[in-house]
Amino acid sequence: MERHRVFAGVGFWCLLLAGSAAISPGQSFLTELKSEHDPGKRSELALDYADEALTNAKALYAKGEVHQGDALLDQMTAALQECATSLGTVHKAKYYKKAEMKVANIQRRMQGLLEDLSLQERGWAEYTSRKIEEIHDKLLDGVMRK
């Protein structure tokens, strides 16, 4: 009986920790991302996170969980903006080109998501698509300047 209480207590704390981690996973990731000192590595981590966030957002939209999908699109945009900001301090063209190519791929995937969504669900995704286009333009400008 005592053993059951111990395991129940451990289960409670695990659920509590999991719940607190789920409150703002994007913010904790962005905080961790900004703590990376190497701007080239930070930009690559941001791109990886953005790619994963889009994949998860698509899955949420497919399930009909539009608000959660919108939240992931926000996190994806924040990661892409952090990538562009980080690259502003890097003086190597290879990082810009790699980022530009990945963001172009994200743009294509985002267009596919928009095509899959109904007109009522598209609002935030269309706004996000425009933001991604702006970020891509900044990166493309950086490729041309470097």
Closest alpha carbon to 56 in 14, 27, 26:
26
- Residue 117: the pLDDT is 87
Residue 18 lies in a domain: no
Domain count, the chain: 1
pTM, two decimals, is 0.77
Residue 137 lies in a domain: yes
Token code pair at residue 100: 């530009």
Task: Catalogue the long-range contacts made by 18-27 (C-beta closer than 8 Å, 24 or more residues apart).
Answer: 25/75, 26/53, 26/71, 26/72, 26/74, 26/75, 26/78, 26/79
The residue ranking higher by pLDDT, 14 or 136, is 136
Q: Rounded to whole angstroms, how far apart are CA atoms 45 and 101?
A: 15
Residue 122 lies in a domain: yes
Residue 140 lies in a domain: yes
Stated as kind and residue range, the H or E segment containing 63 is none
Residue 75 lies in a domain: yes
pLDDT in tens, 76-121: 999 999 999 999 888 777 888 899 999 999 999 999 999 998 888 8
Domain enclosing residue 71, as ranges: 25-145
Residue 4 lies in a domain: no
Residue 76 lies in a domain: yes
Residue 98 lies in a domain: yes
